[in-house]
Structure formats: C-alpha cells, structure tokens
Amino acid sequence: MKKETYIKLVDEVAHRISQHADIVMNVEQVAKYLGLSVAAVRKRCQRKQLPFYRNAKHLYFSKMEVDAMLLNRTTKQER
C-alpha cells in the first residue's frame, strides 16, 4: 500500500471515530445545543423529557443520549 493511501485511510478512520465520541455537556451547553433556555432545559428534566445525570446540584447530559432521544421522538411523531 502506498504511503499516501495509508495516510488517507488512517485519517478517514480517525475522523469516523471522532464522530462517534460522546461529549458530556452541562445545562448551558445543552440549552445552546437544543436552542432552548436554561430554564426550559431544567423544566424538561423535571418532566423526564431529557436524559440527564445529577451530581449534587449540577446536571450533566450525554450528547449521544440527547441525540438518540431527539431521533426517537421524531420517528415516533412520523408514525
């Protein structure tokens, strides 16, 4: 295999792996990501409409879980 081809292949694999990496977000970050206010995010957590983790008084969110919840909601609404 040529060196250039090998480098392209490694770069492509690294790019695909980075797309599947999970990111932990705080309330402000998830609010910005979803286009909501912080209060709206907290309200959705109280109603169990968003997946979250609590550490003392702080809330944390997994980007992969939030994305999965959003995808699941859109597929259910389409049915």
Q: List CB contacts of 66: < 8 A, sequence separation 6 or more.
A: 25, 30, 33, 34, 50, 51
Query: Is the model's pTM score more than 0.75?
Result: no
Q: List CB contacts of 51: < 8 A, sequence separation 6 or more.
A: 61, 62, 65, 66, 69
pLDDT tens for residues 51-72?
Answer: 999 998 899 999 889 988 888 8
Q: Domains, the chain, ranges and CATH?
A: 24-78 (1.10.1660)
Q: What is the DSSP letter of 61?
A: E
- Distances from the Cα of 58 to the Cα of 28, 42, 45, 53, angstroms: 11, 11, 12, 8
The stretch 27-46 carries a mean pLDDT of 96
- Asked whether the predicted pLDDT for residue 7 surpasses 50, the reply is yes
- Which residue's entry shows tokens 């998830």? 30
Give the model's pLDDT for residue 77: 47
